[in-house]
């Protein structure tokens, strides 16, 4: 079998518990013995058995990323479904933060509409804490998770009484509107997201605030709702066009929405930014790979993941510290899809 703590103890001429103390960096052990033990650990290539450690400490040293979806069978990337760019980037950020830590990350897609009450990761106690992402959860669900003695960090929105990390959505709308207004745009369409989404609403509020601040008439500002999908952006813009509206700038509330908008414009041979200006929100793989250099508001989704991870680690360290609510400020990445209006 493998090298165990007992082998080290024998080889180093000390007891099991001393080795354990050394491994766990206790300062109670004499420097000399500490050296001796580390040497034999390295010599014999000892690696702690996580399962055994988990059994005694009842800590798995594992976190779970629970992706809440309404429908678990939908393909993640056809034009008519929400692209999972948020999940990709947040996962990347969490993993980056977990690197050089003794924690690992498990991922589970969980359908809230399904029959299971709790994700398997939680039910089986495979994790010490979970990141909840995807928006589709309510107090009842969160409390159920908390009852299992599992820590929770919510990603993407604020939630009373629980640690959370999110993006300042109001600022997203504000920044986009401010930028467009400053470049002289006065006819602007903002396809922000679905009507039921509070995030989408906040973005509109921020947009409206910038418009008011600038003293611009709201008459030619079009707030439009659509799903966070390519098809959503496509159809919303198409309808607007069919109604005869001709904005000089269009603001997509997500990279998915913007991709759909771009498809409509391409179809109509409307050139960006010559004929119309475009700005997007998110900065995912979709905006960086757009057919032109796309000006975008960066939601810093990787950083979102990293900060969620830091929050989780702090929570583990200080179990009953005050709840943490982190808000990440979006920022503009000015590229080439917005024209200066005369």
- List contacts with DNA (CB under 7 A): 1-2, 4-6, 9, 13-18, 20-21, 23-24, 28-30, 32-34, 46, 48-49, 52-53, 55-58
Among 8, 14, 41, 83, binds a copy of itself (CB under 8 A): 83
Q: By CB under 8 A, is residue 105 in contact with a copy of itself?
A: yes
> What CA–CA distance (Å, rounded) separates 332 from 201?
20
> What CA–CA distance (Å, rounded) separates 337 from 249?
10
6 binds, among a copy of itself, DNA, none (CB under 5 to 8 A by kind): DNA
Q: Which is nearer to DNA, 53 or 109 (CB)?
A: 53
DSSP letters spanning 21-60: HHHTT-TTS-HHHHHHHHHHHHHHT----HHHHHHHH---
Residues 6+ apart with CB under 8 A from 1: none
Q: By CB under 8 A, is residue 95 in contact with a copy of itself?
A: yes
CB 308 within 8 A of CB 103: no
Q: By CB under 8 A, is residue 124 in contact with a copy of itself?
A: yes
Stretch touching a copy of itself by CB under 8 A, among 28-36, 74-82, 205-213, 315-323: 74-82
Q: By CB under 8 A, is residue 58 in contact with a copy of itself?
A: yes
State the minimum distance, in angstroms, from the CB of residue 260 to DNA. Answer: 50
CB 105 within 8 A of CB 306: no
State the minimum distance, in angstroms, from the CB of residue 38 to DNA. Answer: 12
Q: Which is nearer to a copy of itself, 85 or 311 (CB)?
A: 85
15 binds, among DNA, a copy of itself, none (CB under 5 to 8 A by kind): DNA
Q: Which is nearer to a copy of itself, 19 or 211 (CB)?
A: 19
Burial readout 140-153 (b: 16 or more C-beta within 10 A, e: otherwise)? ebbeebeeeebbbb
Q: How many CA atoms lie within 13 A of 256 on its CB side?
A: 21
State the minimum distance, in angstroms, from the CB of residue 53 to DNA. Answer: 4
Q: By CB under 8 A, is residue 125 in contact with a copy of itself?
A: yes
Q: By CB under 8 A, is residue 88 in contact with a copy of itself?
A: yes
> What CA–CA distance (Å, rounded) separates 17 from 15?
5
φ, ψ at 124 (rounded to 5°): -85, 5
x/- letters, 218..237, toward a copy of itself (CB under 8 A): ------------x-------
Q: By CB under 8 A, is residue 43 in contact with a copy of itself?
A: no
Q: State the first-to-last Cα distance of the chain, in angstroms, to the nearest integer.
A: 77
Q: By CB under 8 A, is residue 259 in contact with a copy of itself?
A: yes
> What CA–CA distance (Å, rounded) separates 300 from 326?
13
> What CA–CA distance (Å, rounded) separates 176 from 190?
9
> What CA–CA distance (Å, rounded) separates 280 from 251?
6
28 binds, among DNA, a copy of itself, none (CB under 5 to 8 A by kind): DNA
Binding site residues, a copy of itself, CB under 8 A: 2, 47-52, 54-55, 58, 60, 62, 72, 75-79, 83-85, 88-89, 91-92, 95, 99, 104-109, 120-121, 123-126, 230, 256, 259-260, 262-263, 265-267, 269, 271, 284-286, 288-292, 302
């Amino acid at each position: 079998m493998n090298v165990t703590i007992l082998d080290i103890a024998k080889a180093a001429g000390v007891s099991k518990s001393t080795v354990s103390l050394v491994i766990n960096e206790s300062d109670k052990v004499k420097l000399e013995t500490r050296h001796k033990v580390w040497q034999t650990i390295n010599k014999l290539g000892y690696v702690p058995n996580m399962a055994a450690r988990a059994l005694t400490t009842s800590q798995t040293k594992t976190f779970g990323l629970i992706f809440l979806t309404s429908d678990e069978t939908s393909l993640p990337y056809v034009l008519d479904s929400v692209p999972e760019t948020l999940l990709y980037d947040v996962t990347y950020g969490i993993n980056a933060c977990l690197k050089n830590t003794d924690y690992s990350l498990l991922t589970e897609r969980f359908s809230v509409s399904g029959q299971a009450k709790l994700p398997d990761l939680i039910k089986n106690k495979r994790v010490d804490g979970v990141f909840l992402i995807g928006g589709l959860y309510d107090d009842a669900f969160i409390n159920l998770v908390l009852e299992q003695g599992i820590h929770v960090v919510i990603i993407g929105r604020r939630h009373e009484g629980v640690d959370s990390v999110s993006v300042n959505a109001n600022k997203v709308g504000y920044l986009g509107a401010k930028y467009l207004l400053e470049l002289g745009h006065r006819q602007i369409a903002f396809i922000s997201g679905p009507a039921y989404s509070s995030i989408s609403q906040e973005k509109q509020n921020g947009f409206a605030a910038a418009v008011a601040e600038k003293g611009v008439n709201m008459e030619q500002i079009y707030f439009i709702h659509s799903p966070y999908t390519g098809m959503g952006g496509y159809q919303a813009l198409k309808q607007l066009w069919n109604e005869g509206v001709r904005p000089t700038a269009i603001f997509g509330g997500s990279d998915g929405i913007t991709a759909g908008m771009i498809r409509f414009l391409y179809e109509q041979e409307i050139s960006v930014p010559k004929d119309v200006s475009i700005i997007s929100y998110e900065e995912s793989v979709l905006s960086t790979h757009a057919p032109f250099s796309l000006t975008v508001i960066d939601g810093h989704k990787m950083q979102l993941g990293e900060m969620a991870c830091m929050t989780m680690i702090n929570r583990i360290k200080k179990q009953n510290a005050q709840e943490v609510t982190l808000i990440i400020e979006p920022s503009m990445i000015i590229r080439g899809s917005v024209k200066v209006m005369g």
